[in-house]
Amino acid sequence: MDNNIIRKYDIRGIVGKDLQINDGYEIGRKFGQAVSSVCIGYDSRIDSPSIEKELIRGLTSSGANVIRIGLCSSPMLYAATQITQADLGIIITASHNSSEYNGFKFFSSKKVFSDQEVKEIVSSPVKDGTKIGSLININIYDQYIRILKNALKSNTKQKLKIAWDCGNSPASGIIRYIDKILPDHTHIVTNNSIDGAFPLHDPDPIEEKNLAQLIDIVKEDKCDLGIALDGDSDRVRLVDNKGNIVSNDHLFMIFAREVLEEYPKSKVIANIKMSMKVHDFVSKLGGQVITCATGHSLVKKKMVEEEAKFAGELSGHFFFSELGFDDGLYSAVKAIDILLKRNQNLSQVIEDLPKLYITHEVKIVVKDEKKFQIIESIKKALEQQNITFSELDGIKVTDNDSKGWWLLRVSNTQNCITARCEGDTLEDFELTKKVLFYYIDRARSLNCNR
């Protein structure tokens, strides 16, 4: 197997190029030696069933007992792993990547697998003479629906009209039961067929072009909000009642405020890309924000270490302590519950939050083999200029008066460098943006150099 597809927190590659169908057998063979029971599932991608077959063959041939969930979202697999008390959960997915990608995510209630640990397991020698493991099939739908229903606590009789974009993902299978989860509301669902070709748009709600269809539905049908899920349904993006895309910085604030009302003075985890106004907002509410590097497994690990009650990433991964994992659908139901509790529409809730002067996440497409070199080159240039920066995750430069910051970091899932900047005021923002775009141009020129 090509070890280059082992990323910071999962395995991901283009099928037929750097990820092969029979890689599932090798991964199963090696992980089957490391644990005794494995819960497995797969997403809606075209090659996922074939890879699952090889994964099962590898796991059972190494003596592992396999609990097969079948087609499911990542959060469903995480929940199933907890319910069955399996040593490990593996889902075949490439999350938000386009249809030619696939891969593997690993989940355990006991530990978080780093890229180094995955590499060590995959490179371990195969042991001979192991007995064949067992295989059972289970259906997790009823238990998972109960988990989602538990996120709804409001008893109000207010009725909402909600637009859903399932992104042709396994979430489609759950949305069929949405009236059990959110009864008495009106639901308008699009992209509800499970289709790994993703015919209308890629399953990445962070890319705003992929929200155009949902925005049109919200406006035309006068919905109270729109909800978009990614390819394996562990991330969420909201559209308000006016058709405006909600920043995940603001959604983090909305969730954090609710958590702090229930658990005063608690810790919350925010990844490094989040707005500095998230920190100010949480501090004023009596909470403490701890900054973490980007990556759902890294955030989860930090959350456990700090005993935090909530965590979130700009990409739409939100973690609630009662779950122990990130779940886009659970987060969506939480957001609906907050609207019902506050008896406000979503645009009103956003208007009450701090105004942000911040860029969207900018993606600079570069050669995959050069992205780390580019970041290292810019670090050296900053050091030569005696400019101080954080290396927690890429490069983050904060000005001396803390009125602005800019960030460049390597994407762990795509061949790009991501960038973002923020200012305390519009004037601070414009100044910081000029600096950031100077270094974006520098990154592009380094990508073109041999």
Give the mean model confidence (pLDDT) for residues 337-358.
96
- Kindly tell me the sign of the dihedral angle through the C-alpha atoms of 419, 230, 328, 28: negative
- Which residues touch 315 (CB under 8 Å, ≥6 apart)? 206, 235, 248, 294
pLDDT attached to residue 146: 95
**Structural tokens at position 87:** 């040593």
163/219 Cα distance (integer angstroms): 10
Percent of the chain that is helix, strand, coil (3-state, to 5): 40, 20, 40
Q: Is there a contact between 443 and 374 (Cβ–Cβ < 8 Å)?
A: yes
Q: Which residue has the higher pLDDT, 450 or 200?
A: 200
pLDDT attached to residue 300: 85
| Virtual torsion, Cα 295, 79, 206, 436, nearest 10 deg | -20
Tokens 């990409």, located at residue: 315
Q: Is there a contact between 397 and 409 (Cβ–Cβ < 8 Å)?
A: no
219/411 Cα distance (integer angstroms): 33
157/141 Cα distance (integer angstroms): 27
Catalytic annotation present for 172: no
Fold of 248-351: Alpha-D-Glucose-1,6-Bisphosphate; Chain A, domain 3 (3.40.120)
Give the mean model confidence (pLDDT) for residues 66-84.
96
pLDDT attached to residue 398: 95
Residue pLDDT, tens place only, 194-218: 999 999 999 999 999 999 999 999 9
- Which residues touch 284 (CB under 8 Å, ≥6 apart)? none
Given a cut of 80, whether residue 111 has pLDDT beyond it is no
Q: Is there a contact between 107 and 69 (Cβ–Cβ < 8 Å)?
A: no
pLDDT attached to residue 402: 83
Strands (E), 329-415: 357-358, 362-365, 395-398, 404-410
Give the mean model confidence (pLDDT) for residues 147-162.
91
72/430 Cα distance (integer angstroms): 44
3-state secondary structure of 289: strand
Residue pLDDT, tens place only, 121-146: 888 888 876 789 999 999 999 999 99
Give the mean model confidence (pLDDT) for residues 218-245.
97
Helix axis angle, 248-262 to 328-342, nearest 10°: 70
418/394 Cα distance (integer angstroms): 10
Give the mean model confidence (pLDDT) for residues 133-160.
93
**Structural tokens at position 365:** 């497409």
Give the mean model confidence (pLDDT) for residues 296-318.
91
292/378 Cα distance (integer angstroms): 22
Structural domain spans, the chain:
3-139, 145-239, 248-351, 357-448
**Hey, how many other C-beta atoms are within 10 angstroms of the C-beta on 36?**
13
- Kindly tell me the sign of the dihedral angle through the C-alpha atoms of 197, 199, 202, 205: negative
Per-residue exposure over 10-19, b if at least 16 CB sit within 10 Å of its own CB, e if not: bbbbebeeeb
Give the mean model confidence (pLDDT) for residues 405-411.
94
According to DSSP H, which parts of 35-134 are helical? 48-61, 74-84, 115-122
Radius of gyration for the chain, computed over Cα atoms and rounded to the nearest angstrom: 22
What percent of the chain is modeled with pLDDT above 90? Answer: 82
Give the mean model confidence (pLDDT) for residues 306-327.
94
Q: Which residue has the higher pLDDT, 128 or 376?
A: 376
pLDDT attached to residue 294: 87
Give the mean model confidence (pLDDT) for residues 229-252.
96
Given a cut of 90, whether residue 5 has pLDDT beyond it is no
Q: Is there a contact between 238 and 271 (Cβ–Cβ < 8 Å)?
A: no
Bridge partners (DSSP) of residue 162 are 187, 225
**Structural tokens at position 413:** 């899932």
Q: What is the DSSP letter of 324?
A: S
Residue pLDDT, tens place only, 414-448: 789 999 999 999 999 999 999 999 999 999 888 88
| Catalytic one of 44, 95, 247, 315 | 95
Give the mean model confidence (pLDDT) for residues 299-308.
91
What percent of the chain is modeled with pLDDT above 70? Answer: 99
Four-way CATH pick for 357-448: 3.30.420.40, 3.30.310.50, 3.40.50.1100, 1.10.630.10: 3.30.310.50
pLDDT attached to residue 157: 84
Give the mean model confidence (pLDDT) for residues 315-334.
95
Q: What is the DSSP letter of 101?
A: E
Q: Please indicate whether the domains covering 145-239 and 357-448 agree at the CATH topology level.
A: no
Q: Is there a contact between 270 and 278 (Cβ–Cβ < 8 Å)?
A: yes
Given a cut of 80, whether residue 449 has pLDDT beyond it is no
pLDDT attached to residue 450: 58
Cα of first residue to Cα of last residue in the chain, in angstroms, is 28
Given a cut of 90, whether residue 274 has pLDDT beyond it is yes
Given a cut of 80, whether residue 413 has pLDDT beyond it is no
Bridge partners (DSSP) of residue 66 are 38, 135
62/65 Cα distance (integer angstroms): 9
Q: What rounded mean pLDDT belongs to the chain?
A: 93
What residue type is 241 in one-letter code? N
Assess if CATH 3.40.120.10 describes domain 145-239. Answer: yes
Four-way CATH pick for 3-139: 3.20.20.70, 3.10.580.10, 3.40.1390.20, 3.40.120.10: 3.40.120.10
Give the mean model confidence (pLDDT) for residues 53-71.
96
**190: pLDDT confidence band, cut at 50, 70 and 90?**
very high
312/303 Cα distance (integer angstroms): 10
229/335 Cα distance (integer angstroms): 14
* Of the listed ranges 43-47, 105-109, 232-236, 334-338, the one predicted with least confidence: 105-109
* Of the listed ranges 119-123, 289-293, 406-410, the one predicted with least confidence: 119-123
